[in-house]
DNA sequence: CTGAAAGCGCTAACAC
DNA sequence: GTGTTAGCGCTTTCAG
């Protein structure tokens, strides 16, 4: 916004009309006579006029901008979700402001605050552990907001959401292992994602119970690191041994990255997957099909999740009423899981 | 920007001062007496005032916003680059508008045009095949711009850049294979990235020549698909056979995704990597170390590339003079390449 | 030290 | 149909 750019005033002067006529002509206001309208448009073109969206926003009280917060841009899961968001936002004429929170409360609040100052029309928050503070903050902004896979029970009425059914997904994964003949089945979770981790744990336990398999606490291993620098892959690598000593033959992992970590650890330990150990992940990120063996996983439709959330925001912006969505994940069977070897 | 929000006017009224005094107090103008300043700040807090960045931008002719165009957000390479950009932008108080071009001219021009209308303070373009039109467009916007790994020869003086040395990288990869005893070495490239593909091809050929190995056109296979829907992985998968029939023992791939595709094809064909075939990628994306065998690759410091580009933009915004950077990639030896088996 | 007034570029009553 | 005027919320001379 450096130098002086040409404005409707400049065009008006050249056209010998008032600036409001120019404004109207440019916006195809029906009142303007066709001849002047065309002439003005021609002039605008010729002078390479570019409307100032800032001035328009100030006047219209609408910025045509939405804010998106994700924990990490480089995380393949969120990258896909953001891609889905952008695919819907752009054709709708909305620009997206992107911010990463790195699973850090302050950063996330700061990001939302920035969005507030910039007067975004709506906000999308992916995978936050929404706190009371967030609710308060978001309520105050009073702008349509939709939460993606977010961890909150107290859905305030201004917050909407699209989320995956974690419990169902976990159940699918566990039932899959059970159907393959496994009975000693572990869960490898991460401690810093309280709600989703909790729900996946519950789905896992539910599946065991329904199959008449008594749960065993030794089969559950949840990292207690809140260190965001430890990647999920490392979590999987580090936590595997604990489950191995509990002699499980199959493991359901919190997500694909954790499963990849477990897989790498197996390779180091000389454990054959799926011969000696079956592994199931969660998410369905592309990389899961590139590892060897390819990862059996519970897939989330990431692009759709982002797309739905964005569409919901669009509806909200048009004052339509929307309903929260809970999407169902589905099992994708690949090479990392197999029937239990009968000895 | 829906409902009426409180403005400095409102605070002024409550404080019994003029709005300009409020404006000054809030911005710590030295002229305002400490007592009123504190009182005003207290009031602002109490009334939960949030400054309107739009109005500020209109006045200051600065939006504190930058625009970033990448070909795809979900591509792990760009995801890392964007992460690096955001890491520098946020602490500097700049928000980032993100847009994906999907390697499509119109979409990219449209994105840049949107940035123009929104009066961003600067623009970052990643991996584009910059055309004359782009140059014209960007020149007209007259806003600091830095190109990341972009494909243009005619660097206009307003365009700056940070790029990886593709030729050097390709040379490192090829020399690595040569040092392992390979002499029949293939290059698996992609046709829609003219310049970087061209440069990597040249580096490859240069290495061969320097080693006294006569180049063989059968060893070079470049996809001719301009179909953006065909992923790099598929390119690798589909193009491998052609090189195999030319009986190469090592292949340098355009990037890691292509290499992964080649690797998957090898697995299907029962070709052992690295025993029967050595594979080297380019980029150094995380997933390269998760596949089996882990990918030997020429690594680009993706976070740094994004960070440098952003820092450069920051310098440009402060009217500092900057110098284009060409970064050197480095070889990361992993499991996918090994010494040629002497028969 | 503080207030009045102008103006950033645009839209929208309200006149004529 | 088109011009005039006000105003979106803020910063910044210019007076006092």
Residue A36 above 60 pLDDT? Answer: yes
At B318, list the tokens. 């402060």
Q: Do A1 and B61 touch (CB under 8 A)?
A: yes
pLDDT digits 0-9 by tens, A156-215: 667 899 999 999 999 999 999 999 999 999 999 998 887 899 999 999 999 999 999 999
Based on the fold, state whether residues A225 and A126 are members of the same structural domain.
no
What Å value separates CA B21 and C1' D16? 15
Q: What is the pTM of this model?
A: 0.94
DSSP secondary structure string, A202-260?
HHHHHHHHHTTPPP-GGGEEEE----TTS-HHHHHHHHHHHHHHTT-SEEEESSHHHHH
Beta strands in A71-131 (DSSP E): 95-100, 122-126
Based on the fold, state whether residues A180 and A284 are members of the same structural domain.
yes
Residues contacting B234, CB < 8 A, separation 6+: B261
CATH number of the domain that residue B13 is part of: 1.10.260.40
Q: Is A284 helix (H, G, I), strand (E, B) or coil?
A: coil
pLDDT digits 0-9 by tens, B83-110: 999 999 999 999 999 999 998 889 999 9
Beta strands in chain A (DSSP E): 65-70, 95-100, 122-126, 145-148, 159-164, 185-190, 220-223, 250-253, 278-283, 296-299, 325-327, 330-332
Determine the average pLDDT of the residues in A31-38.
89
Structurally, chain A folds into a number of domains equal to 3
pLDDT digits 0-9 by tens, A59-73: 999 999 999 999 999
* pLDDT at site B2: 46
| B227 domain residue, yes or no | yes
Pick from B237, B306, B242, B260: which is nearest to B68 by CA? B306
Q: Do A264 and B3 touch (CB under 8 A)?
A: no
Determine how many CB atoms are found less than 10 A away from the CB of residue B91. 8
Based on the fold, state whether residues A101 and A111 are members of the same structural domain.
yes
| A339 domain residue, yes or no | no
| B278 domain residue, yes or no | yes
* pLDDT at site B343: 61
Between residues 115 and 134 of chain A, which touch chain B (CB distance below 8 Å)? 116-119, 121
Q: Which residues touch strand C (CB under 7 A)?
A: A 4-5, 7-9, 19-20, 23-24, 26-27, 49, 51-52, 55-56, 58-60; B 16-21, 24, 31-33, 36-37, 55, 58-59, 61
Q: Do A1 and B121 touch (CB under 8 A)?
A: yes
* pLDDT at site B107: 93
* pLDDT at site A3: 56
Main-chain phi, psi angles of A151, to 5 degrees: -100, 80
Based on the fold, state whether residues B247 and B213 are members of the same structural domain.
yes
| B341 domain residue, yes or no | no
Based on the fold, state whether residues A28 and A148 are members of the same structural domain.
no
Determine contact, residues A330/A187, Cβ cutoff 8 Å: no
Share of chain B above pLDDT 90, in %: 82
| A342 domain residue, yes or no | no
Determine the average pLDDT of the residues in A279-306.
97
Main-chain phi, psi angles of A325, to 5 degrees: -115, 140
pLDDT digits 0-9 by tens, A217-263: 999 999 986 655 568 999 999 999 999 999 999 999 999 999 999 99
pLDDT digits 0-9 by tens, B43-99: 999 999 999 999 999 999 999 999 999 999 999 999 999 999 999 999 999 999 999
* pLDDT at site B180: 97
Q: Is A15 helix (H, G, I), strand (E, B) or coil?
A: helix
Based on the fold, state whether residues A180 and A127 are members of the same structural domain.
no
* pLDDT at site A189: 95
How many Å apart are CA A174 and CA A180, to the nearest integer?
10
Based on the fold, state whether residues B99 and B71 are members of the same structural domain.
yes
Based on the fold, state whether residues A186 and A234 are members of the same structural domain.
yes
Between residues 247 and 306 of chain A, which touch chain B (CB distance below 8 Å)? 260, 263-264, 267, 287, 290-292
How many Å apart are CA A266 and CA A276, to the nearest integer?
10
| A270 domain residue, yes or no | yes
Segments forming the whole domain that contains residue B222: 166-300
Based on the fold, state whether residues A143 and A181 are members of the same structural domain.
no
How many Å apart are CA B170 and CA B156, to the nearest integer?
27
What Å value separates CA A21 and C1' C16? 15
Residue A27: C-alpha distances to residues A8, A10, A47, A56, B5 (Å): 12, 17, 17, 12, 27
Based on the fold, state whether residues B12 and B84 are members of the same structural domain.
no
* pLDDT at site B130: 78
Based on the fold, state whether residues B293 and B170 are members of the same structural domain.
yes
- Among candidates A87, A140, A290 on the partner chain, residue whose Cβ is nearest the Cβ of B48: A140
Q: Do B54 and A58 touch (CB under 8 A)?
A: yes
* pLDDT at site A4: 66
Determine contact, residues B241/B235, Cβ cutoff 8 Å: no
- Among candidates B52, B143, B292 on the partner chain, residue whose Cβ is nearest the Cβ of A2: B143
Q: Do B114 and A95 touch (CB under 8 A)?
A: yes
Low-confidence stretches of chain B (pLDDT beneath 70): 1-4, 153-157, 225-230, 342-343
Based on the fold, state whether residues A156 and A172 are members of the same structural domain.
no
What Å value separates CA B223 and C1' D1? 59
* pLDDT at site A1: 47
Tell me which chain A residue has its CA closest to the CA of residue B62.
A1
CATH number of the domain that residue A241 is part of: 3.40.50.2300
Residue A96 above 90 pLDDT? Answer: yes
Residue B310: C-alpha distances to residues A86, B45, B141 (Å): 22, 33, 18
| B230 domain residue, yes or no | yes
| A343 domain residue, yes or no | no
């Amino acid at each position: 916004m450096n130098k002086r750019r040409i404005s409707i005033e400049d065009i008006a002067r050249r056209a010998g009309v008032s600036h409001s006529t120019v404004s109207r002509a440019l916006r195809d206001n029906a009142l303007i006579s066709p001849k002047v309208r065309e002439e003005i448009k021609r002039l605008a073109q010729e002078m390479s006029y570019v409307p100032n969206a800032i001035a328009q926003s100030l006047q219209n009280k609408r910025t045509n901008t939405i804010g998106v917060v994700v924990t990490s841009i480089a995380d393949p899961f969120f990258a896909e979700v953001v891609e889905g968001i952008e695919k819907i936002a752009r054709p709708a004429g909305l620009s997206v402001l992107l911010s990463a929170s790195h699973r850090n409360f302050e950063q996330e609040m700061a990001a939302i605050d920035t969005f507030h100052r910039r007067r975004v029309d709506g906000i999308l928050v992916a995978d936050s552990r929404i706190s009371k503070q967030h609710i308060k903050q978001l309520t105050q902004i009073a702008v349509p907001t939709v939460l993606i896979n977010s961890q909150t029970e107290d859905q305030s009425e201004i917050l909407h959401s699209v989320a995956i059914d974690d419990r169902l997904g976990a159940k699918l994964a566990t039932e899959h292992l059970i159907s393959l003949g496994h009975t000693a089945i572990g869960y490898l979770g991460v401690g810093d994602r309280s709600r989703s981790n909790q729900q996946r744990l519950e789905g896992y336990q539910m599946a065991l119970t329904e199959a008449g398999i008594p749960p065993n606490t030794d089969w559950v291993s949840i990292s207690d690191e809140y260190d965001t620098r430890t990647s999920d892959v490392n979590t999987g690598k580090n936590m595997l041994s604990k489950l191995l000593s509990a002699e499980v033959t199959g493991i359901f992992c919190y997500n694909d990255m954790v499963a990849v970590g477990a897989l790498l650890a197996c390779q180091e330990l000389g454990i054959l997957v799926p011969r000696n150990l079956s592994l199931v992940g969660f998410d369905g990120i592309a990389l899961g099909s590139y590892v060897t063996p390819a990862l059996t996983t519970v897939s989330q439709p990431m692009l759709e999740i982002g797309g739905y959330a964005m569409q919901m925001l669009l509806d909200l912006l048009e004052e339509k009423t929307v309903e929260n969505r809970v999407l169902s994940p589905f099992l994708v069977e690949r090479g990392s899981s197999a029937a239990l070897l009968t000895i």
